[in-house]
Amino acid sequence: MVVGSLYLPKDNPNKPLGEDAHFTHELYQTIGVADGVGGWVKQGIDAGIYARELMKNSFIATYDESMKGHVNPKRVLEEAYKNTNSKGSSTACIITLNSVKNTIVAANVGDSGFFLIRKGKIIYKSPIQQRGFGCPYQLGNCNSDNPSVAQEMELNVEKDDILMVGTDGMLDNIFESEIEEIVLRAIDQNLKAEELASQIGNIALYNSFDRFADTPFAKASKERHIGGKIDDITVIVAYIQ
């Protein structure tokens, strides 16, 4: 995997780092995203701290897992969760490439997720886990979920496939058809992974500020919300080579 990423925290002077977090570990072919659940702010808790600690511990656990053989994303999540002590909660999605089997293996909790793209077409979208609109499954220490709820997936991959991972700030603000158009142009222009991540993230950002945009979030809300959703936006793009 050749990896590029972009993080665009929403403009909040009280939380300049936002509530998303991510990591990339190219040596061990593993990437992950997390999105701290904003509802904690009512209790004076910055869930971004939990998300960042979870991803830092996931990075460490990826190394530990690699020493045992192939990285297992669910075990990475379990180890990271066990060692994360901050208050708050977070969604999480961790994906690794098994280059022996030519598969990607993923563990996902909540409404972050990923697309697998082949020849410019999305051939797989990870399902989201939520108890209701705006209430995703979430890892945390205070009456939240634990990694046992993680949905595990294993998918065959081919050379030149593109893996695109994002928090809901991306997924809520850009339709799959838009992503496919951008990816096809990126393939034509030989864009690097980081350049493609930047294009996707910035279009999601543009849509998030459009009060009248047709967005996945507006569609999912069943007319309770119109336009884009202002949120932290994380995009990771991995080219399978």
Question: Domain residues of the chain, as ranges?
Answer: 2-239
Structure tokens at 238: 């991995």
| Percent over 70 (pLDDT), the chain | 100
Greater confidence, 225 or 5? 5
Helical segments of the chain, H only: 47-66, 73-82, 168-171, 176-188, 193-209, 216-220
- Provide mean pLDDT across the span 159-171: 97
CATH class label, 2-239: alpha beta
Strand partners, 3: 238
Rg over CA atoms, the chain: 17
What pLDDT score was predicted for residue 14?
Answer: 84
Residue of 36, 32, 236 lying closest to 136 (CA atoms): 36
145 bridge partner residues: 139
CA distance 234 to 190: 22
pLDDT at 12 over 90: no
